[in-house]
Amino acid sequence: MNRAPWHEYFMLLAKMVALRSGCNSRPSGAVIVKDKRILATGYNGPMPGAWHCTDRGPGYCFRREKGIPDIDKYNFCRATHAEANAIAQAARFGISVEGADLYCTLAPCYVCLKLIASAGIKAVYYEYDYGSRDFERDAFWKEAIKEAGLVEFRQIRVSEEVLRQVQEILPYPTSKRRLPPTEFLEKFENGETYRLPAAEVLKNKLRYQTGLDSLSEIRFIIERATTEKLPEENFSFLLAGERLGFSPLCEEIYEALSRDERKELVLKIDALEVPVSFIREAEGVRLLVHLPKIDQKHFEKVLFFLDHLAYQLSHRLTLPFKLEFRLKALLLKT
């Protein structure tokens, strides 16, 4: 599932807030946001504690019941608009909305626009144009936007992709597991082969090997090299008996693999010498490492250094690298 863009995320929240609206005609919601943090919300409805038009049934409207025409609707509508309620909620709890953004499902009317400007809100994002039967008044409202001092006044629509995701996530239960569950505690067994997506995954799994002092005759295959940064360890390399630095070593291996040749080297760390083979295969390169008895600390150093080396060569050759470690004995940390 892709993450919804910020504008669509906050507009979706405004639409959800509108579920609390007490208006049967135009349910509306508003969200005030600053630095991507929600300050207040509001929906159109009557004064606190008063009855809602929705309380009288799905088709009820107080103004319409009284026969009041559109020209005088603001004097007889029971609801405060969503934007005004959001600003009032912030004021009630002492929250400054200066410099904030407002997301609303309906473009603000002139009354709310003046309130927005006075509160110091700097951007308004709306889903649907207001529009009424009084076209001259509507045109005047749109001109008034230029006087409101807003940095931005823009229509935002939630994309079909995000709406599809909403349809997937809303039905109960939202947080039901979508990926296969992991083992509570995964233990490695002697003599087995384990495939892991990255070196870091192997390191983390080794951390949780409890009740074991060592592993023997075990093989780890790392499917992809991912270590971008060169570990700060004291390594040296022997290639055909000659000591090389990291950059010349990379060049030697690159040239050999470019010619589809196998390349052998010895990695030295402290008193340990580790034979390493680079083998060109049909689908990429396999880095094969044979390790005698080694403790976990030194193994992890070897693991991440060779993973970094494979990462560098993989990008230069534009070929996938796999790392295969065959261990006679791995002494685990206790």
End-to-end CA distance of the chain: 40
- What is the C-alpha to C-alpha distance for residues 266 and 279, in angstroms, rounded to an integer? 15
- What is the C-alpha to C-alpha distance for residues 305 and 287, in angstroms, rounded to an integer? 12
Residue 73, token pair as written in the block: 């609707």
What burial class does residue 225 get, using C-beta atoms within 10 Å of its C-beta: 0-12 exposed, 13-18 middle, 19+ buried?
Answer: buried
Choice among 83, 127, 252, 300 that is catalytic: 83
| Measured CA angle at 152 (ends 17, 147), to 5 deg | 105
22 Cα distance to chain centroid:
34
Cβ atoms of residues 306 and 319 within 8 Å: no
Residue-wise burial string across 246-284, b where 16 or more C-beta atoms lie within 10 A, e elsewhere: eeebeebbbebbeeeeebebebebeebebebebbbeeeb
Active site residue 223: no
Residue 161, token pair as written in the block: 């992709």
Cβ atoms of residues 274 and 291 within 8 Å: yes
| Measured CA angle at 177 (ends 175, 183), to 5 deg | 140
Helix (H) or strand (E) segment spanning residue 39:
strand 37-43
Residue 201 half-sphere exposure toward CB, CA atoms < 13 A = 14
Closest by Cα among 327, 320, 324 to 225 = 320
Cβ atoms of residues 28 and 44 within 8 Å: yes
Q: List active site positions.
A: 83
